[in-house]
């Protein structure tokens, strides 16, 4: 499952939005940066995900989610990410 995490743009106007990849057990498996690509950021890789909830958070919480997802993503192979 993908959960969209979003916050306000940074001071330079850059979008801060991304997708936290979570398996059926609720374990975080990775992070996909969305930026301005919108849903296109995930459709290239996960075309059959369906709709996902969006969680709006403070900028500090967004950074924490992003770091968490990026850190855990390195723990899984691509096959594990696609076959959760």
Q: Encode pLDDT of 46-56 as tens digits.
A: 655 556 788 99
pTM over 0.75: no
At 64 the pLDDT is 92
pLDDT digits (tens, 9 = 90+) for 4-43: 899 999 999 998 998 888 888 888 888 888 877 777 777 7
Cα–Cα distance, 72 to 45 (Å, whole number) = 18
In what order do the strands lie in the sheet containing 54-56?
A: 28-33, 17-22, 2-6, 54-56
């Amino acid at each position: 499952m993908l959960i969209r995490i979003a916050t306000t743009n940074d001071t330079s106007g850059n979008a801060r939005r991304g997708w936290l990849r979570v398996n059926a057990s609720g374990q975080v498996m990775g992070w996909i940066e969305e930026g301005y690509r919108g849903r296109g950021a995930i459709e290239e890789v996960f075309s059959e995900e369906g709709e996902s909830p969006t969680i709006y958070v403070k900028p500090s919480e967004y950074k924490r989610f992003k770091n968490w997802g990026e850190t855990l993503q390195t723990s899984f192979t691509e096959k594990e990410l696609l076959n959760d």
